[in-house]
Every structure is written in structure tokens, then in C-alpha cells.
Amino acid sequence: MTPVKATINSDFSAGFEVQQRILDAALKHGYTEVCLFAIKIALEEALVNAIKHGNKLDPQKHVRIEASITPKQAEICIEDEGPGFDRNAVPDPLSDENLEKSSGRGILLIESYMSQVSWDHGGRRVRMVKKNDHPHSDR
């Protein structure tokens, strides 16, 4: 198992550094290219949402990232210090009235690419799990 823990300021470049550490760990554990792409997209969207929508780009607020990567699955939790949100109140980006809006796709991408997704702590925390398509028992 490879753990990754970080607390970052509301800064996109710091988020991408942690994203790369998680992807490197998944690669080391034999994740397929398809799984790596899924983790990359979901992680990027979750980090952007935490920094931009959760913490409102406030440099005084932090984002906590915890990941546990094994050959079988990657579990990633991201929590911001924002006001939270109600997942059920987020408009469906695929409904006709929302198709031309430029925002609202991040949650859809996260939930589409990951094997399991849950929102808790009032919407301030997302837990994402990606199962590895072809885990190697020897790694």
C-alpha cells in the first residue's frame, strides 16, 4: 500500500503536485492506462472544485488530500474548508436547459470515471474509489 497525505493552500499548482504523486503511486502499483486516466480526470476535477468552489480561492483556506493506493484500488479523499453543498441540489448538466452552460460538469466526470463516489461532511468532502482493472498480485 502507498499512502499519500497532503494539506495544501487553495492553490492549483500545489494540487497538481499532489495529483502527480497519487498518479505515480497508481502507476507503481500496475494500474492500467484507462484507470490512470480516470483517476487523473476525477482527481483534477475534485481538486479544482475544492479550491475554486469550496474554498473560493481563499489562500487562507486549505484542502486536505488523503489517498491509499493498493494494487486492487485507489481510495482518495479530498476535503475543503468551504461552506459545503447539497449534491442532490446540483443541476443535471445533461438536461436540456443546462447543456450550453460552461460549468457543472466536474461532478458528472468524477461520478462517471470512478468506481464509487460519496459526498459527506456537508458536501465539503468527497471520497472516490477506483478499482484497478487488472491488479497484479505481485506488486
Q: Domains of the chain (ranges plus CATH)?
A: 2-131 (3.30.565.10)
pLDDT confidence of residue 134: 76
Predicted confidence (pLDDT) per residue in 15-38, tens digit:
999 999 999 999 999 999 999 999
Mean of pLDDT over the chain: 91
Q: Which residues of the chain, if any, have pLDDT below 50?
A: 138-139
Task: Record the cell numbers describing residue 57, joined without a space.
Answer: 480561492
pLDDT confidence of residue 40: 98
Asked whether the beta carbons of 45 and 93 are under 8 A apart, the reply is no
pLDDT confidence of residue 103: 65
pLDDT confidence of residue 95: 76
Q: Could you count the other beta carbons within 10 Å of the beta carbon of residue 44?
A: 17
- The DSSP string of 31-84 is --HHHHHHHHHHHHHHHHIIIIIISTT-TTSEEEEEEEE-SSEEEEEEE-SS--
